[in-house]
């Protein structure tokens, strides 16, 4: 059995996920019952499904609470089959002290009926802490013109804000949360589409906390 990724970092209250892969090493496929142990205080682990046929896979989800103490823990997943048991280890770090907020301060013009993209490259390790926090600062006289989306390193899109409204308000600085399930490292891209005419502006900066 093996876990991918084999490690992850979260702040207390965050969630880490990994995929458990199994294989049939000899003979015919067998049913494997899965359990997890070694969790820190205030944390829970779920395996979905809890029983797989060798050669299949399962998802490990570790959920910490606000009271889970900082530290590094080894969570052991055990698979029990008729032929014996096998284990796989996941290293969970809670309360990482490394930088997990990244910023792009380059100005981008926001033009009518056009789309801009602004990338940020993250070097954070492990699973992104969900929800990720995105803070956007822009000078635009009609925030209601703008549709704003976030694309993660694995290509998944998350809608942060939709356009539309009866009245125009200045954009300024706004913060969004996006529930994600993917690794923190890689290129995260902010997309802003101005879907109406007349009002234009500038994306001043944006940041993401992973």
pLDDT at 97 exceeding the cut of 60: no
Pairing of strands 7-10, 84-94: parallel
Contact 70, 39 (CB under 8 A): no
d(CA 153, CA 158): 12
Q: What is the pLDDT of residue 129?
A: 87
Six token digits for residue 70: 């900082």
pTM across the whole model:
0.56
d(CA 37, CA 208): 32
Six token digits for residue 146: 């703008």
pLDDT at 78 exceeding the cut of 60: yes
d(CA 151, CA 162): 15
Residue ranges of domains in the chain, CATH in brackets: 2-94 (2.60.40.10), 101-209 (2.60.120.260)
Pairing of strands 2-4, 101-104: unpaired
Cis peptide before 99 (omega within 30 of 0): no
Q: Convert the pLDDT of each residue in 100-119 to its tens digit.
A: 889 999 999 999 999 999 99
């Amino acid at each position: 059995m093996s876990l991918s990724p084999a490690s992850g970092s979260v702040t207390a209250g965050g969630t880490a996920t990994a995929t458990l892969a199994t294989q049939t090493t000899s003979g015919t496929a067998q049913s494997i019952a899965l359990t997890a142990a070694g969790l820190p205080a205030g944390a829970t682990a779920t395996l979905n499904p809890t029983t797989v046929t060798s050669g299949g896979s399962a998802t490990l989800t570790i959920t910490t609470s606000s009271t889970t103490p900082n530290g590094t823990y080894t969570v052991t997943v055990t698979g029990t089959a008729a032929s014996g048991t096998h284990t796989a280890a996941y290293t969970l770090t809670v309360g990482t002290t490394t930088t997990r907020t990244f910023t792009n301060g380059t100005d981008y013009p926001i033009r009518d009926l056009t789309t801009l993209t602004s990338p940020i490259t993250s070097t954070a390790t492990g699973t992104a802490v969900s929800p990720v926090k995105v803070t956007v600062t822009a000078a635009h006289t009609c925030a209601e013109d703008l549709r704003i989306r976030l694309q993660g390193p694995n290509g998944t899109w998350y809608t942060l804000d939709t356009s539309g409204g009866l009245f125009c308000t200045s954009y300024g600085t706004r913060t969004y949360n996006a529930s994600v399930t993917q690794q923190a490292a890689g290129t995260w891209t902010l997309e802003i589409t101005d879907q109406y005419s007349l009002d234009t502006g500038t994306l001043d900066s944006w940041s993401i906390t992973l």
